[in-house]
Each structure stands twice: as structure tokens, then as C-alpha cells.
Structure 1
Amino acid sequence: MSQPSSASGMYRRVWHWHFYAGLICLPFIFLLALTGAAYLFHQQIDDVIYARLLLRDADARPALAPTQLIAAALRAEPGDAKAITLPEDDTHSVQVDVTQAGGTVRQVFVDPASGKVLGAIDESARVMTFVKHLHSLTVLGNGGRMVIETVAGWIIVLMLTGAYLWWPRGRRHGVISIRPGATGRNWWRDLHAVTGAFGGIVILFLALTGMPWTAVWGQQVNRWLSEHDLGAPNGMWRNLPHSTIPASALGDLPWTLQQQPLPASDDPHAEHHGHGGHHGPAAPAGVARISADQAVSTLAAAGLRQGYRLVLPQDAQAVYSAIRTPRQLAGRRVIHLDQYSGKVLMDLGADRIGAIGRVTEWGVSVHQGGEYGWINQMVMLLGCVALMLLCVSGIVVWWKRRPTGSFAPPPCRQGDRLALGAMVIAVVIGVVFPLLGASMLLAALLTARRRPSH
């Protein structure tokens, strides 16, 4: 069906944006989809790769005390105990994180009933840890996170421009099914369109729910929500002394707590800074620190189920931090204990998070395939597969259509413009996602340098 010239110009302009966004971001998009698909099943994959470390036969004997398990780990891997992870069921081992000389963290796995050390591995050497860092490009530092944030923003642009290009406009074939008898470029074009039609909503959801972890947008939104009590309740910290230890030192925390301060223990002899014998960095001389056993008993009395990671105090200010992050949002909980008195300084469960923060945490949980079991994993996996298929089909369509001797699409014609509504949408998206907005402006300047055809 022929289009009016203004509509044709709009179509060409949108197609150009779709083309450039896809071609430039395609390697990163494919990487996101591939690593994301793998990480959806990280627990199952870990249990297969590291079965001899993580799994054990069910044992009816009661578990040894945490201090005994930590001592067993330190005999095998000397250093400072950083944390102990107590499994939720009796088929998994206890994990003790040990910081060794040079800052290397060794994960030591201990049978909780016998105290037998099953083995150890460097924290950074685990396959799914590498996949996670690759997914977020943290392997490249903060700059990598900014690249991923920009790419996630362009995925949103790709979905919106793709929806515009896909819109039937009176067509019946090649919209929700591949045209009968289609071959060559037409077959690949239909595959691209149909894949986007069925997978677009899931892909858009993945892009939006991945944004909270980004370096610029995610941190700013997190800070704003906390300041307005829409994320982690800001008032929980107002009457507590704050530690100089950043929350990031605790490892994986719920998103709403990533930028919150940590409470500080009330050191009864703050002037002392001696060192005594303890599994981790010692308390000041003459000052008694509660043991990991006492901390676990206090947490049990507070109703915290096992399946949590207990981070041990690393200096005189630090606290015992119990972090329980099961795949379902409702079971997540973080408790901080004073290392001297054992007093509960903060107890934050999902039910105490502000409305927008809770919705954001829910989105992250669904994004990771954890909120609704295997169905959740399958739907997110289909989104990842659809995204990879869009990458492959998109590159084939472009290759078959590209002008001879050129890697660029045919230039727009003189007078081709975006409709006012499309420009407003682009501006709004660019303002909401600043890194995306900056890259969109740069792309607009670069494409404007190409002389339009007549």
C-alpha cells in the first residue's frame, strides 16, 4: 500500500533510527541476551558445575555451630573469615568466605554436620560470577556499566521504532506469521517482524527492569526514592550512628539498600584499637564481641529463616549483617546486629519498602527469573532467545538490502522529518534516561552530516 509522502518520510526516518540503533548496539545486545539467558539458571548451573562443593547427601545429624564451621574452613584456607552462608535445606553445604593475603577471597565449602571441608575456589573463578560480570560489563569497570545503560536505553528505542515499522497499515501477511512462499530477504524480514511482535513486550520489560542496576539512572533513582521514603525507609537510619563501611562491601544486597549507609556498632571502648585472637579482624582490646553463634541465635529469635549470608564484622565499627535474598521478593530480609551487644539495629523486609521501591524490586526479581518459578524462567528465556534471533535476522536483512559497496542504509530524502509526536517521545525518553539522551543527540548530529538524497 502506498503511503503519503509525509508518512513515507516519517517511515524512512524511523527506519534509519532503527537501523543505526540496531547495528551499533547489536554486539552488546547479543551479549546481554546470551549472558542473561545463562544467568536465569545460575543456581541450577552452579549445582551441576560445582556439585562436589555445593551438594551433599541429606544428613539427619544436627549442624555444627557456625564458629566450628568457620574454624574448619580457616584450617583449610588460612586468612580472615569474611562471611558464612547457611543453606536453606540440608542438601547443600555451608559456604565460608575467607579473605587471604593480597585481598583474594576464597570460598570454602564445609559439610555442616561433619565439619569436613569439601573444597574451595576463588570467588572470582566461579563461572556464573564471570557471566554476571560480563552481563553487566563490570569487567570493564564503571565505564562498562555506563555502556550497558546506554545499550539498554537503545533497546527501548529499538522496540518502539520496531513497533512503528511493524504496524500492519492494511497488510495481512508478514505481521504475525511469515508469508507463505517467502524466501530470501523477505523470509528473514518476516521472521524479524514476527519475532519482534511476539517477543517485544518481554524484551521491553527486560530493558526497563534492568535499568535499576545501571551506573547513572539507577543510582539517581535509588537516591531519590530513599530521600522521599519511596524505597528503603530513610527514617530507619536517622537515629543510628553510621559506619564508614560502604554497603557495597557486603556483596549482593537488595537494590533499595545499595546506596544506604550501614549502621555502626556502639563500641564501648572506642579509644582502644588493639588486636586479639578472632576468626575475623579483632575487636578492640578488652572489648567482648558476640560470637557468630550468638549472632545466629539472635537472628533465629528474630524469625529469620536459614538461607542467609552472615557478613562478619571487619573492624570496630562494623556490624553483623544477615542478608537473605531468596528468588522471591517476599522472603527477602536484611538484619544488622551490633557486634558487641547483639542488639538488632535494623530489620528490613520487603514489606517495609516503599511502594515504588517494592515495584522496582519486584521487576528486578522477575527480570532474574525468580519471582514465579520455572514459568518465570521460561518466559524470560524466550525473551532472551527472541532478542538473539532479532539480532541475527536483523543483520541478515540489512546485509541483503545494503547498497552495493556501502555499509549504511540509503540516505533519507530531502524533507524527511519525524512527526512532532515522535520527536516529543524521543525528547521525553532522552530526558528520563540521560545517557540514552546524550547518545541520541550524538547520533542525530552524525546522521545529519549525511547529505540527503533528492
Structure 2
Amino acid sequence: MTTSFQPAGDGTANANANAASATARTGDAHRSALHAVLLRLHFYIGLFVGPFILVAALTGTLYVLTPQIESHLYAAQLYNQSRGEARPLAEQVKAAQAFLGPQARLFAVRPAKAQGWNTRVMFTQPGLGDSESRAIFVDPVSLQVKGDLIVYGTSGVLPLRTTLDYLHRNLMLGDVGRNYSELAASWLWLGALGGVWLWWHARRRRAGSAARSPRPMNARRLHALVGLWIVLGLVFFSATGLTWSRWAGERVSQMRTQLGWITPSVSTQLQAGAPAMSMGEHADHMGAHGMQMPMPQASDPARFDMVQQIARAGGIDAAEIEIRPPRAAQQAWVVREVDRSWPTQVDTVAIDADRMAITSRADFADFPLIAKLIRWGVDAHMGVLFGVANQILMALFGVALTGLIVLGYVMWWRRRPAAGASLAPLSQAVMHLAPLQRLTLAVLALLLGWSLPLMGASLLLFLLVDVIRYSRARRATA
């Protein structure tokens, strides 16, 4: 009698192999489920948020391309042909006040930055929007009023770019309209990074295929390539756009405050008997010139000349500056640099005009690194940091993003489901994730929903639409 003998190790090896195979199949299933979740989320972002991103891309591209157009369009207000020595700021301010009348409330003055440029004397008045002022353009040599325009923001942009800025920011719909741009910025980065993952997943799958053939250039491949080329720019647009958004911007401000990343600012409150700040290397200049100036009354426009000299002696050396008189008693004058090109000049000083001294200052060199990065990022986003090169780069990104979205809709139209058919819903894909994956996804969704409130609200809307679609599909097949 012959007895066959099989080593016990063979059975164990087979069992281990079967277990490894099952584990591999489970891992593949979980990766496939994750791919399905990201694919459907990418689809929802493109379909529902894509129009908002498209409008932001178009209006942003127009905005960064218009400085030269604006300079030509408003040449009569900006420039003059006068030759000679500029008259004191006091006389320029009085000329603007005489043009508007005594009821006008003086807000700030931006002295002519070079020969051939006009001075802006800015006033506030009822009916203007936030950050808007009425600018009277005065020839600093002849004292002729050369223009009267509404200007906007720290950059002092003129009406053409103000309109484009409002379109880009809020579709000219006020605070309600601001939700559109924040929604676009909230989802843009996730759509971009999700697209990169989908491209990588498809590339990895093709690499494992036995038969590979040359791929024709179609809408899907072009969409992927354009997305890869500009992905870093899209993340940059999203991050910088969120810093000045309404809801997410408040979260960013809170985080910066807690981490000590706030942008320094000057104190305008004056205290009796408080010591003046030293002006360092400029003190000798003030001793020789500034302290000899007469002491005009608080309401006298002549104080603009005195304050400007004190600021210049205190290190405010940019060609473009803005001088703001105090709005109430016991407040300081503020002089700030407004040149946001490279190298950035945005130093600010507060000046006690009675004591003819700088009482507070905020120098860009002393800003925390994060505050500097945010300042540079916002200025680059607006196309002002590196001049024409910055404008061209931002415009190219805007055109590429526009093309990316259009290609996405072409892909959807060509591959849209037939009438009566239904795509597998997002909620079903989520249920096929591993428990740890579902938990991680839920935690991330909660964190992002709190940090980016409009993303959280729209995600709930996506899920609601998804559940309704899923329910209808099940009833149709029942």
C-alpha cells in the first residue's frame, strides 16, 4: 500500500498565496473606488463650478491686460505738458477744493510721481462704494484741474479697471456677487490637483497594459496636458484669491492673527507727551530743514507740504506716495508708499504734525515672511508685481484656464449619457471605499467645509443632487 505524502508547508503556502491575492484584489477595489470618487467629484466641479471659474478667468485676463489701455484712455487726466517747478502741495490742494466747493471732504493726496504727471487730490462723498474716492487731477505746475474721476482701491485704478475689478470680484452684484468668485477659488485648487491624480492614475493603468499604441491628440488628452502645464498657477490663483474673499478670507485672517502672521500697521492714535520716534540717518536733514518750517493750523492745506517733508526725511522714498490727513482730533497723519511693483515699496509712517515727528511706522522689511509672501502673491495675482512680464504671464494662465474649461465641456458633451441613462453617483462610489478611507474623506470634508464655507455648502448641494439622482435611477430600474 502506497501512501502519498504532501508536505504541510505546501498547503500553508497556497493559503498564504490566496490570502495575498485576496488582499491585492481588495486593495485594487479600494483604489478603484477612490478613483471613482475623485472622478465624479472632478466631474461635479467642472460641470457646476466650471462656469464661475470661466467667468473669473475671462474677467481676470481682461483686468491684467488693461493698464496700458487705461493709461492711453485717461491720458488727459494723468499727464500734462507743463514745464517748470511744481507748486507747493498746499496750492494744489486748494485748487482741487476750489473746483469742488467747500462741501467736499478731503480724503488723501497722491503727489505727482514725476515730471509730466498730475497730482491726485482725493475726496469722499456720499454714494461712493467701499474703497472708492473722487480724484481731482491737478497740474502741479499750472494748478489747472485736468480731470475728475472715481478711483478705486490701494492701487488707485481708474474707471475702466474698476469695472473689470468689480466684474472679476462680484459680477457687479455687491456682497452677494462676491460668493461667485469665492466659490470658484474654493474649488479651483481641488479640481486642479484632482485632475493631476486622475492623469497619473490613467497613465499608470496604461503602463500596465500589455498592448500600447500611439495616442491621438483629442480633447481629453489636450485637457490633461493643459491642466498639467498650468496646475501650479491654478493653485496659486486659488490661494491668493481666497486671501481677500469674504468668508474664507475671514478664516485666513483669524489663522494669521493666531499665528502672528498679520501685516503690521501704524497706530494713528496720538498720546499727549508720547516720545517721537527717531528718524535715524535722516535726523540731520530734519534738523537742518524740517524744524525751520512754520507751524500751520490743523485745517491748513499747507500741512501737506510739511508732512511730506517729514515723511521723506523719515525714509519714505518711493516715487508714489499717498498722504492722508487725520479724520479726528488726536489722530496722526499717515503717509504710505503705494508702489507695489518689484522691489515692493509699501512702507508707512504716522506723523504728529503738531510736534513735527514720526510717531509710528510699519516698514515692509520688518513684515513677517508670511505677510510678505501674501503681499507679493496678491500683487502677482493682479499683474502688478513684475510689470509687463507679470501681465503677460497672468494673461497666458487666464487664456489656458479658459481653454481648459471649454475642453472639459466638449468632453462632457461628446460623452454625455444617452437619454434615460445615468452615471454611477458619487455617494455609491463613496460606499465602496474602505472604512479608513471613508473616515479620512469625512474628516477632510469637515475641515475644508469649515475653512472654506462656500465649498462646504456647495459640497452638500452636490451630495443632495447626487442622492436624488441615485434614488431616481433605482426607482427607474426597480
- Give 1:118's match in structure 2, choosing from 142, 146, 167: 146
Q: Distance in 2 between matches of 1:87 and 1:352?
A: 28
**Preserved contact between residue 417 and residue 423 of structure 2 (Cα < 8 Å):** yes
Residue aligning to 2:468: 449
Number of positions where the alignment pairs a residue of Structure 1 with one of Structure 2: 398
Residue aligning to 2:105: 80
- Give 1:169's match in structure 2, choosing from 199, 204, 216: 204
Local SS of the residue matching 1:371: coil
**1:319 equivalent in alignment to 2:347:** no
Shift of 1:221: 2.7
Q: Which runs of 5+ in 1 are unaligned?
A: 173-178, 234-256, 269-285
Local SS of the residue matching 2:398: helix
Shift of 1:415: 5.4
Shift of 1:437: 3.0
Residue aligning to 2:116: 91
Local SS of the residue matching 2:58: helix
**Preserved contact between residue 83 and residue 310 of structure 1 (Cα < 8 Å):** yes
Shift of 1:207: 0.7
Residue aligning to 2:176: 143
Task: Note closer, same or farther for the CA distance 1:391–1:121 as it changes in structure 2 (3 Å cut).
Answer: same
**Preserved contact between residue 268 and residue 334 of structure 2 (Cα < 8 Å):** no
**Preserved contact between residue 137 and residue 145 of structure 2 (Cα < 8 Å):** yes
Please list the CA deviations of residues 14-50 of structure 1 after superposition, one character each: whole Å capped at 9, or x if unmatched: 2211111122222221121122222224432320221
Q: Distance in 2 between matches of 1:87 and 1:166?
A: 53
Task: Note closer, same or farther for the CA distance 1:200–1:140 as it changes in structure 2 (3 Å cut).
Answer: same
- Give 1:439's match in structure 2, choosing from 442, 458, 465: 458
**Preserved contact between residue 135 and residue 150 of structure 2 (Cα < 8 Å):** yes
- Give 1:62's match in structure 2, choosing from 63, 85, 104: 85
Q: Distance in 2 between matches of 1:310 and 1:409?
A: 61
Shift of 1:328: 3.0
Q: Which runs of 5+ in 2 are unaligned?
A: 1-26, 153-157, 208-213, 274-296
- TM-score (norm. length: structure 2): 0.74
User: Could you tell which deviates more after superposition, 303-312 or 141-150?
Assistant: 141-150
Local SS of the residue matching 1:347: strand
- Give 2:246's match in structure 1, choosing from 215, 226, 230: 215
Q: Distance in 2 between matches of 1:442 and 1:412?
A: 12
Shift of 1:376: 2.7
Local SS of the residue matching 1:82: strand
Q: Distance in 1 between matches of 2:178 and 2:105?
A: 30
Please list the CA deviations of residues 283-310 of structure 1 after superposition, one character each: whole Å capped at 9, or x if unmatched: xxx8676711111111111121230121
Shift of 1:406: 7.4
Shift of 1:68: 0.9
User: Could you tell which deviates more after superposition, 154-163 or 143-152?
Assistant: 143-152
Residue aligning to 1:247: none
Shift of 1:262: 5.2
Please list the CA deviations of residues 224-268 of structure 1 after superposition, one character each: whole Å capped at 9, or x if unmatched: 4345532235xxxxxxxxxxxxxxxxxxxxxxx5xxx85224589
Q: Distance in 2 between matches of 1:412 and 1:434?
A: 21
Task: Note closer, same or farther for the CA distance 1:423–1:190 as it changes in structure 2 (3 Å cut).
Answer: farther
- TM-score (norm. length: structure 1): 0.77
Shift of 1:196: 0.5
Higher Rg of the two aligned structures: 2
**Preserved contact between residue 329 and residue 361 of structure 1 (Cα < 8 Å):** no
Residue aligning to 2:312: 300
Residue aligning to 2:164: 131
**Preserved contact between residue 137 and residue 145 of structure 1 (Cα < 8 Å):** yes
**1:190 equivalent in alignment to 2:218:** no
Residue aligning to 1:264: 269
**Preserved contact between residue 19 and residue 409 of structure 1 (Cα < 8 Å):** no
Q: Distance in 2 between matches of 1:398 and 1:213?
A: 33
Local SS of the residue matching 1:219: helix
**Preserved contact between residue 316 and residue 348 of structure 2 (Cα < 8 Å):** no
Task: Note closer, same or farther for the CA distance 1:337–1:413 as it changes in structure 2 (3 Å cut).
Answer: closer
- Give 2:372's match in structure 1, choosing from 358, 381, 399: 358
- Give 2:189's match in structure 1, choosing from 129, 132, 156: 156
Local SS of the residue matching 1:331: coil
Shift of 1:198: 0.6
Residue aligning to 1:32: 56
**Preserved contact between residue 16 and residue 409 of structure 1 (Cα < 8 Å):** no
Query: Greater helix percent: which structure?
Result: 2
**1:229 equivalent in alignment to 2:241:** no
Local SS of the residue matching 2:121: strand
Q: Distance in 1 between matches of 2:270 and 2:333?
A: 9
Q: Distance in 2 between matches of 1:441 and 1:196?
A: 26
Task: Note closer, same or farther for the CA distance 1:13–1:301 as it changes in structure 2 (3 Å cut).
Answer: same
**Preserved contact between residue 199 and residue 382 of structure 1 (Cα < 8 Å):** no
Q: Distance in 2 between matches of 1:101 and 1:156?
A: 39
Shift of 1:321: 1.9
